[in-house]
Structure 1
């Protein structure tokens, strides 16, 4: 007998030995509730194997010891002898008295898969920083590392995970296990995941007895002492991952759309690609996109899956014009469908469908939460929790729960630093596609209503001053994209609904102060025009009048005083018709300001006096103070600084009486300007500094900037250009901080003037060119004219009189176009000076005479004195001393009457000629 024991007996003995060793080696097994039962079950397997082997052996032995029975003679050539086959396939051969046991052939060892990682996409690019952070996590963490990548569908979690997994695979040489946990369809259970891991190591393991209560012991056993990387892709919940925490020698990488918490899990949020990363990815996919890469990346919202589809489509379809494709992608209503068609035509069969990717997360929600999520599609930018609360009409706690749920489903992003939520652009497109027209209109109405209230809150904070001033502007700026989109949507649908018309009517007046600072005049005109249409549809005469008046102010800010007057006159008629005395007084004041801009100070005074009378009649002390300040400014324009001071002082008294700190600051600033006109720069500085203190106290940053600019001008008049520059630079910094483009242009112009007077005309030109760009950008025609005039002065300082004349002529053209008589006066005087420098005295005198006519018409005494002065110098240089003396005397008489410091210089010139 060659064999005395069967393989089954051997297997049984070995099995029982392994079970015994395992029982004493793993205390956790002995102490677990099902440990004893597992021991008995596994021992039974060994005993049964041993018994079965023994029975086979006995049967074989019995067969061998039976008396020989007569057998037919074997044919010749049969060398096998007598063959008996046992139940397990073993053959027992008796030949010539010898017995040989032939064991059945062993089956080939089942295939074991230790290295399961798929290759990452060959064209993977970008994510360097996130990859470095993940690698650092794996290197620095003590014990088993569990790193989690979460993010929306199509963001590239799996591809990123594979890149990282291959980089660390060398540190886990025993095995790299990869498994799709099917989180978006039919999630695998922890038991099913454990089964996959065990079978990867032990393909022949009998797991029929494995269940939810006992899988952890064999799972931990197969991983014990092994350096294994477990990559679980597309997880659904903590219930899948928590029971599978591996031994310390192993590591785990998990990807999921859903956010969940597992002890030891280090989460990493995978966001869209940065612009440069997205461009590089596209160029790798399709080099011909080149100059269009940035636009194409933006149209794909920087989502890796969308970028891959678009780039691959354009690479495969070389005859497609990129501009045409971009146009299709930029149509948000068709973007998702365009990408779907592109995927099909590019034959990207291995890539998931983008819409289907979104549907998997969306369909996992309840219908109630689907509706809530769809409504968020109307938000064009990130939003605060209270915006969702207003949209859903829920309490604060319920809103927080719903937002948290959507975050966990990766259908909503959250910026912890800003405490704001947001939808990816393509998800927002998908959300909008799921809504019908009625549902979308309802959502957009709620959106517009909420942000009207936000505007009101911003203005309220603005008016409180101090830190609240900047808080108000910050709130407005933060929500500007929502405000802009909501207003545009309302403006397009005024005729469709009275509810929409009413909201459109209210939008421009919801945040008068913030809008006044943030909206360029032309934008403001668009808003007000829409609001006026809405008010007319609703026949709301009070709002019709208010919007007409505000349109007048907007056109005045554009430098179009004549257009402003048209609107103010319409408002005046309505205010008188409906008996709105306060509105009537206000619009009379605005008419005065428009005529002042035209250089007609006397006409302005007529309107200001009517405004003052109404304010006193209705007891409007604030309006009375404003009217008195305006009267002071008009007399200052006439060159009567003393009269101006009288009005400014009355305004100051009222402002202090009613506690109007903002008005008090304005009055002090006006007094400073009046004393500056009188040549008393020191006195002017005193008033400007008082104004500055108040404006800083109340947090009026715009007013603070103006006060700093006035201080700069005062020090400039004292000959201290360097000190002036310090103040103008502070003014510029504030204007840029608060987004005051008009103030920024003014500060740049002042800096240019200061540098010109320091002898640095080239630097002056740089500042004036910047100011000109801003004035043209915001549509400030008066400011544009001023910048052109300043450029002329700078070139004149360089000795380039011809170039200077070009700029002066452009300035005079604008002044005449918009009816700016004061600007025309300044341009004519500058032209006279330029031709004087060219020694063309006759031409110069002609321009000074034109200037003289204008200043007499508008009652500008200071300007009249300057015109006489210019003529006198020309006469002197041309040798006409008699006429020169006559014009110098005229100038001297005027300057003495208005107490101008120029009188001293004229007197010296006269003394030289006599």
Structure 2
């Protein structure tokens, strides 16, 4: 009997049932979105679907792909993982069995072949996952011009595509979705839950699945959702946390297992190797998680494959990080993957090759992690994939460059975070001279340098004569005032006139200052070409003058530009070079500011631990130079990051240090707000006593300030905290009645007050003894000792 032909990895998908994400039976509130994006795709336009995590970008992409999957060209769907252009090209080449380019090969011939092939077959291309936008731009321009193409990302990033915002659902659509998925009629409590979820599709889906499975009643879920402080834990993560707590302990463990898989998902067999649970047990548990809304199931090479949504991954990893167990779980995944790989590199049968192909994304993602944290295990993994059977798999399925790259990572671990198949060349000159993509045209010719003189004339008209140095400096002072007032265009005009005078007179110090100002203002106008030109000139002048501080400023502006354009890797390099330039000058304030920018970048890239390391350095610097304004911001930001990671003790420590700085300033309202922040943190971490103490202190300050808004908010926060403390129900009613007096018409206060009074009446009628409330609320707020 002849063997079935091997289907190329990533081959065009035909039949919507074969898509990696099953199109939803019904998409609520997306009819107009589907129609608009479909028209753009039909015209051969690339479209970037952008919006918050959980908004339904991938679901919308799947719905659009369903129609293309029935056409001759089919769908090329790639779950991207920070792919470089070389990796994207090889994905397409592998799908069509074209020759694969090794790490050292020139890709120009491959690029042209892929362009021609895509033009001939005309598939829909979907890039869903972690995108490296420099690579995506290059791929669209060189290979996919005129080809329908979808990209997904959380934010709008410029490129040769049409951006399309996938927003939250309207209230009617949110209610319809909740009713449909929960199979419940629309009643007041369901309407209240829909409003609390604010139209967030994933949150609605998860909540509805809890109702449909009978895990919780709407009123109880609403109560728990409203008790989640939204300042420290996003409402979306809070909904997941609430649903997670409803699971049996075994299923909770499975959420953490799946949510920490390196590729965001895995086959049941790999999950079995990681957890040491039988495959049939894994399958049963995972399908329960699918039912509860935590996971998706699909078939990969005819094997059950389970994936966690991006937000479930964020939740699982933050939960384990907060318990200091994430590294342990990662190590389990690595060892389980090694077991799996060794099993299927024992021989080169088609079945074994299919198993390895199923987990290629996990093999690569695990290698990236191991290169940075577990190099000994990376060595073991490389050894496992260099057996004769593995070599046969690599050749047969076209993964030569990927496995060559794993060996490269052993010697160059710094390449790991820079993108799949990256072979880094980090000369800063290349970063400085990189030209940003034209976001409106398909022209691939090199951008020409800007003629500064022509640009100045275009903006301001040709000056009749150059100014004197004194006039130029006076004009520059005027420009600085205009910039401070927000009159950017006129400020640029005046700085440009001053710059021309400085150049004509050879005043290079003032010229350098003007270039920095012009680069800064051009960045505010998002004029990327002007920023690059001013930075390029400023860098050359700073190096000529041996002025590393100005050079550091220019590199910082370059990093800001790269970050604005979505060039995360370029921004990281620029900021790091800025710090290197500034360190010899001991310009500590500048260094601290750049470190703070680098921390923000790492947070956007999902590298929370790197962000923590940067913020810890900023705190040390700002404390040393006694810049309490910057130090306060750094304390708060680091506290917020630790809260996101569920490191509650550290989050409380840094927010407490922020409180001490605020107290020194004597700003009572700021002290109140920080007390509320600490109360919310304590409440989220499960320390109800600590939360009550902070809320009561905040209430005492609110009474002193006699601000009705602040007083009402403080009363509400404390009343909501004590709502489920049965003995204190009389106090809860007292707090909420006072809150209602200060903030009449607040629907949340009125809802909680009705609920508290109804419960109070039931308990009194049942003979339950409640604590008497004697002292007034001002005395109640004062009697609690302050937390040191």
Task: Give the alignment's TM-score, normalised by structure 1.
Answer: 0.32
> Does 1 or 2 have the higher relative contact order (CA < 8 Å, sep 6+)?
2
Structure whose alpha-carbon radius of gyration is higher: 1
Task: Give the alignment's TM-score, normalised by structure 2.
Answer: 0.36
